[in-house]
Structure 1
Amino acid sequence: MFARQFRVKSNTAIKGSDRRKLKADISAAFPSLTADELSELVPNKEELNVVKIYAHKGDSVTLYVLHKNPLFFELEKRLYPTVYVLWRCPALLPAFRTWPPVLQKLIGGADLMLPGVVVPSSGLPDVKPGDCCSVTLVNNRAPVAVGTAAVSSGEMHSLGMKGRGVCVLHAYMDHLWAFGDKSGPPSLPEAEGEGQEVNGEDYEVDDTEEEEEEVEKCEEEVEEEEEQQTPGEKVTDQACSGVEELSLAEQEEERGNEEEEANQDDLKEIMDALLLQCFLHALKKKVKKSELPLLTSTFLRNHMFSCCPSGKQLDIKKSSYKKLSKFLQAMHKQHNLVRVKELTKGVESIVEVDWKNKELRYFKVPEETGDEASPVQDGGEAEPPYHPPEITTLYSVSARLEPLFLDAKKRKGTILQPAEVRHIVTEYVKNNELVDENNKNYVTIDPTLCDCLLEKSEYQEVESLKWDDLFSRALGRMQECYEVVFPGHAPVRKRGHIEPIDISVASRGSNKKVTLIKNLDVYGLDPAAVATALQRRVQASSNLQPIPGSKDKVLVQIQGNQIHQAGNLLIDHYQIPRKYIQGLDKAPKGGKKK
């Protein structure tokens, strides 16, 4: 679950009542913990943080963090300990032992396979499917992974120790471990120093030949499972037992660290260059003298981000400057381009720009730039381009109007386009010779038209109608429907009005305003992608909230009154017609540029 980088949604200190509830939940989930151990894990007077994250597959996970180390993580209302807790309390969970080289597979996200399990002389721990358990390495009782049992202990034996044993959720050296202080496991010698049993056979730790046999068994097991799966479902990184030279693994790890550091330096240089490009572009084409003094935050949000080339993402934190203030100071010292001053305490503004600066004058604006950097998913791949759907208003034949459509063989419930309705009504009028001879703009009302289109009070008074009135009455008495066509998908037809994208402002604690955006999914928009794009525009925190009373639907929440920016994003970037967006009139008066 944590083999890839996760995204932090919020990080807050826990309240006293929530701390007591957490203690009770931990005590209920892990009854073997003593009162002293529980007090040590969750102390009363030390700061304990609650961190909400999204894993790379979208799972919502809650972390409980003490002294920067995650202690427990909550997934689907169930608590699991991290390796930091298990190193303090190694006997907290039933443990399955495996070989050290298997750890690399577990870190990569693989599950522990039964051929790789080292069975002690005392037998396997007694577990049921779904029970929380840990994974340890031979010669060290300190757990290195946490997961759930795939099958019961009895089934493991009945399966001949083949198949999946532990579904791993978290492992030493994964991204959850890296969220803490990155300490290593302690050295805890095993209680049993004698022979062990591997998959039902007597085994001596120093016996290399038998060890190699177990490696072959594991590889055969993995190959059999892969053959049974479809090509798209094959798991190539399942953990199996095998003995490799640890020195080689250490060398590879060192090389990997060196490569990672080199890559990070390269990324900083690239981001520095992009930062300078967007800075010069914004000064040359976006900022006007009349706008000075200009808040540095406004300059970044409204000018620099809009100058970022399409397909790239401007992120100051990934540059060598880390902060906008440091970057602007460097631009002043190195190039004397801008002068920044603190006009209000704690708020910096650009008060002067050297428009005659050679570097600014000779800067060439890139030909292809976009107002929005392409959203990037957690995996690092660019999000596929969004194409707005084609939305068509349709009408369903009602019971009252069915006699008018019988000649065209259209029964009640038939869905028609407006043009088809006009054509059928026109043909009915012509076939029954109802066009007024004196004025062809009028249609004479016959008994069928009278019953279908007129109110009871009009029966004796209205003898003719204009063509436009005739058509509008016909459409007004039909049930409205709509058709949505997404590129590459079959049309979807539904009765009623299509729900507009609703943008509203709500108040939170201390009279803080937040902007809420609903119904994005109706138009095929990914709420997470919209939240990320909007967050980049306004530089305010955003998150996804479930919509009460609805299944699997979420709304976007972003700090402040961002109606104007949200409307611009939906209309200009995503090409959603204005008529399908509700609430744009509630934008603050000063939000629009003049």
Structure 2
Amino acid sequence: MFARPFRVKSNTAIKGSDRRKLKADISAAFPLLSAEELSELIPNKEELNVVKIYAHKGDGVILYVLHKNPLFFELEKHIYPTVYVLWRYPALLPVFRTWPPVLQKLIGGADLMLPGVVVPSSGLPDVQQGNCCSVTLVNSRAPVAVGTAAVSTGEMLSLGMKGRGVCVLHTYMDNLWAFGDKSCPPSLPDAEIEGQGVNGEEYECDEEGEEGEEEVEKCVEEEQSPSEAAPDPACSGIEELSLAEQEEEKGEKGNEEEEENQGDHKMLQETMDGLLLQCFLHALKSKVKKSELPLLTSTFLRNHMFACCPTGKQLDIKKSSYKKLSKFLQAMQKQHNLVRVKELTKGVESIVEVDWKNPELRSFRVPQETDVVAAPVQDGGEGDPPYHPPEITTLYSVSARLEPLFLDAQKRKGAILQPAEVRHIITEYVKKNELVDENNKNYVNINPILCDCLLEKSEYQEVEALKWDDLFSRTLGRMQECYQVVFPGQAPIKKKGHIEPIDISVASRGSNKKVTLIKNLDVYGLDPAVVATALQRRVQASAVLQPIPGSKDKVLVQIQGNQIHQISNLLLDHYQIPRKYIQGLDKAPKGGKKK
């Protein structure tokens, strides 16, 4: 799960009540932990952080981090320990053992297959399918992987130790391990397994190792992905010598390719550095005014530098040698003396001075293409992808009561239609059945089907005709409302019911302090973390993400003070969300009367 880099969504200190709940959950999940051991893992007075991340496949995971080391991770409401915890308490989980060469495959995202399991003299641990378990290497009790049992112990034996054994979630040397202090496994020797082979049989290490490779060639099953090469069959690799020889050969053959790739990478970096400098000088010369100073560096990048990027090119700081805007601006300050950057508030840098007389700036010629306007981007900082508001359409679903009215158009219950399609089908039905009133074309005569579908029981004997507008409104009113959301370049998303508006509310916290809460940003394709960062920079106030009670994997943005004016400007002007999809703008603070 953590074989590839993950994205951090938020990082906050845990609350006291949540700390107590976490302790109770860990105690229930791992009953072998004593009260003292639990207090050591989750101390009462030391800061414990809750880090929410997205794995590379989009899974939402919660990490519990103490002293910069992730101790536990929560996935789909199940808590799993990391290798940092298991190195302190190696007997916490049922243990499966395997051979050292298999570890590299596990780190790459493979699951542990039963032919690769080394069975000790005491037998396999007793597990049920889905139970949390750990993986160790021969001659060491220090766990190197955490996962879940693919099948029960009984099924493993009945299958003849063939098939998948452990579905691996986390390993030593993966990206979750790298999120901590990157320490190595402790030395915990296990003499019981010495001399034993695959599945507990005696095994002699042969330098050629052909028979051994055939016997354990399927000890792991790797994840298949388009970006990965086909897996090599050498998964037995009991003799480490052959593995080292393969690596040496690969290294010799790949030296030339690596040098070529490094040359190409360096050339791309130099090209992006040149584009970055051009946009920087262009922005200073033609966009920035002295009255704007001090100017937030993020605003300078978003509103000025991006606007100066030539058509057909894309400005991406991460592809330059600087990697970050702050490092680029430091270089412009120290090496070129073009600007002076200062941290006016903690963690927020601004351009406070520009040397308009600098020879390099004065000699710079603005390119002829001056009307380039960059696409609006999410207001989150460096390198965020462009944001375009979705196209939202109201749709209608055929209900069971109205199904007879739509049968001629071959639309049955549950069919989703545009309002124009509904009007067209009703019009064709009226014309086909000759229901237009001969004396007044504005009226439609009611036949038995229209009567059953559109009239109330009290109207059956009284209403003989309806106006066209009334006919259409009654039809739409008796259909189930749906909506369709279309993001640029993505397939339409259709859902039943009304689309939830972005909900803005003001609440009181301790000592009557006001906070502003924003919900449902994700419905409109907005990343709550990006919006929180943008608001924090705009209003210079603390903004955090909080889970929404009763909903899974949904968060709200909480920012100090009544910030509805700023939120309104951000959503309406910058993100261009239509006002009708925003709820709570009327709660903005009213300006006081001047005395």
- How high is the TM-score relative to the length of structure 2? 0.70
Taking a change above 3 Å as real, the CA distance of residues 501 and 317 of structure 1, as seen in their structure-2 partners, is farther
Counterpart-to-counterpart distance in 2, 1:75 and 1:443: 61
1:511 aligns with: 514
Distance, in Å, in 1 between the alignment partners of 2:473 and 2:545 is 39
Distance 1:93 1:446 in 2: 75
Deviates more, 1:145-154 or 1:277-286: 277-286
Cα distance in 2 for residues equivalent to 1:427 and 1:127 = 69
Q: Distance in 2 between matches of 1:38 and 1:489?
A: 47
Query: For residues 430 and 28 of structure 1, what CA distance do their matches in structure 2 show?
Result: 70
The amino acid across from 1:129 in the alignment is Q
Q: 2:19 and 2:372 mapped to 1: Cα distance?
A: 53
Question: Given the superposition, is the C-alpha separation of residues 492 and 418 from structure 1 closer, same or farther in structure 2, using an over 3 Å criterion?
Answer: farther
Cα shift at 1:114: 1.0
Query: Is the 8 Å Cα contact of residues 308 and 372 (structure 1) preserved in structure 2?
Result: no
Distance 2:294 2:378 in 1: 31
Task: State whether residues 121 and 197 of structure 1, in contact with CA within 8 Å, keep that contact through their aligned partners in structure 2.
Answer: no
Say whether residues 1:124 and 2:127 are aligned partners.
no
- Separation (CA, whole Å) in 2 of partners of 1:101 and 1:411: 60
Q: 1:267 to 1:38 in 2, by over 3 A?
A: farther
Distance 2:110 2:411 in 1: 58
Q: Is 2:559 aligned against 1:562?
A: no
1:13 correspondence with 2:13: yes
Q: Structure 1 515/146 Cα, relative in aligned 2: closer, same or farther at 3 Å? A: same
* Equivalent pair of 1:305/1:372 in contact (CA under 8 Å): no
Deviations 1:235-262 (A, max 9, x none): 9489943244354587679999x99999
- Percent same amino acid at aligned positions? 56
- CA separation of 1:488/1:512 partners in 2, compared to 1, >3 Å: closer, same or farther? closer
Q: Deviations over 1:109-138 (max 9, x none)?
A: 111111111222332222222222211112
Distance 1:489 1:331 in 2: 39
Deviation at 1:298, TM superposition (A): 3.8
Matching of residue 219 in structure 1 with residue 224 in structure 2 = no
Residues 218 and 235, structure 2, Cα contact 8 Å, conserved in 1? no
Contact kept in structure 1, 2:276 and 2:315, CA below 8 Å: no
3-state DSSP class of the match of 2:166? strand
Partner of 2:393: 391
How far apart are 1:410 and its partner, in Å? 12
1:478 aligns with 2:475: yes
Partner residue in 1 for 2:365: 362
| Cα deviation 1:529-577 (Å, max 9, x = unaligned) | x547656866769888776667x68466375543322234554xxxx7x
For residues 74 and 346 of structure 2, what CA distance do their matches in structure 1 show?
42
Q: Which runs of 5+ in 2 are unaligned?
A: 591-595
Structure 1, residues 209-233: CA drift from partner, whole Å, max 9, x if none?
7x6434213336779x99xx99999
For 2:89, the aligned partner's letter is C
Does the 8 Å contact 1:73/1:79 carry over to 2?
yes
1:66 matched residue in structure 2: 66
Instruction: Return the letter of the residue paired with 1:563.
Output: S
- Give the distance between the partners of 1:312 and 1:477, measured in 2 at CA: 51
Cα gap change, 1:562 to 1:241, in 2 (>3 Å): farther
- Number of the residue aligned with 2:4: 4
SS of the residue aligned with 1:65?
strand
Partner of residue 335, structure 2: 334
Distance (whole Å) between structure 2 residues aligned to residue 488 and residue 267 of structure 1: 27
Could you tell me which runs of 5 or more consecutive residues in structure 1 were left unpaired when the two chains were aligned.
436-441
Task: Give the drift of 1:516.
Answer: 2.9
Match of 1:439 in 2: none
Name the TM-score, length of structure 1 as normaliser: 0.70
Per-residue deviation at 1:53?
2.1
1:183 aligned onto 2:180: no
Q: 1:285 to 1:545 in 2, by over 3 A?
A: farther
Closer, same or farther: CA 276–417 of 1 in aligned 2, 3 Å: same
SS of the aligned residue for 2:146 comes to strand
Q: CA deviation at 1:106?
A: 0.5
CA gap 1:303/1:199 in 2 versus in 1, 3 angstroms: same
**Distance between the aligned counterparts of 1:12 and 1:495, measured in 2?**
35
| Secondary structure, counterpart of 2:151 in structure 1 | coil
Aligned residue number for residue 168 of structure 1: 168
Aligned to 1:57: 57
Cα deviation for residue 51 of structure 1 reads 2.2
Q: Which whole-Å deviations, capped at 9, do the CAs of 1:500-527 have from their partners, x for residues lacking one?
A: 643534447442334333572xxxx545
| 1:7 shift after superposition | 1.8
> Are the equivalent residues in 2 in contact too, given 1:71–1:81 (CA < 8 A)?
yes
Residue aligning to 2:439: 434
1:438: which partner in 2? none
User: Distance between the aligned counterparts of 1:86 and 1:102, measured in 2?
Assistant: 19
Residue 236 of structure 2 is matched in structure 1 by 241
CA change 1:98–1:311 in 2 (3 A) is farther
Shift of 1:87: 1.7
CA apart distance, 1:190:
1.3
Could you tell me whether the CA contact under 8 Å between 1:108 and 1:237 is conserved in 2?
A: no
Distance 1:479 1:142, change over 3 A: same
Change (3 A) 1:283 1:196: same
Shift in Å at residue 165 of structure 1?
Answer: 0.9
Q: Is the 8 A contact 2:484 2:493 kept in 1?
A: yes
* CA apart distance, 1:164: 0.7
1:371 corresponds in structure 2 to 375
Alignment check: 8 A CA contact 2:343 2:350 kept: yes
On the 8 A contact 1:110/1:239 being kept in 2, the answer is no
The amino acid of 2:567's aligned partner reads Q
Alignment check: 8 A CA contact 2:506 2:514 kept: no
Taking the aligned partners of 2:138 and 2:585, their CA distance within structure 1 comes to 67
Looking at structure 1, the residues matched to 169 and 299 of structure 2 have their Cα atoms a distance apart, in angstroms, of: 42
Q: Residues 212 and 15 from structure 1, CA distance in 2 versus in 1: closer, same or farther, beyond 3 angstroms?
A: farther
Cα distance between partner residues in 1 of 2:345 and 2:286: 27
Q: Secondary structure in 2 aligned to 1:276?
A: helix
Output the aligned Cα RMSD.
5.7
Structure-1 residue corresponding to 2:106 = 106
1:44 positional shift? 4.2
| Letter paired with 1:116 | G
Partners in 2 of 1:446 and 1:334 — Cα distance? Answer: 84
Q: Distance in 2 between matches of 1:64 and 1:444?
A: 68
2:593 is matched with: none
Counterpart secondary structure, 1:303: helix
Distance 2:309 2:114 in 1: 51
Q: For 2:178 and 2:412, how far apart are their aligned partners in 1?
A: 64
2:318 paired with 1:279: no
Contact residue 98 and residue 138 of structure 1 kept, 8 A: yes
1-structure distance, mates of 2:291, 2:278? 23
Cα displacement string for residues 67-100 of structure 1 (whole angstroms, at most 9, x for unaligned residues): 2222222223332221112222222222211111
2:495 and 2:473 mapped to 1: Cα distance?
18
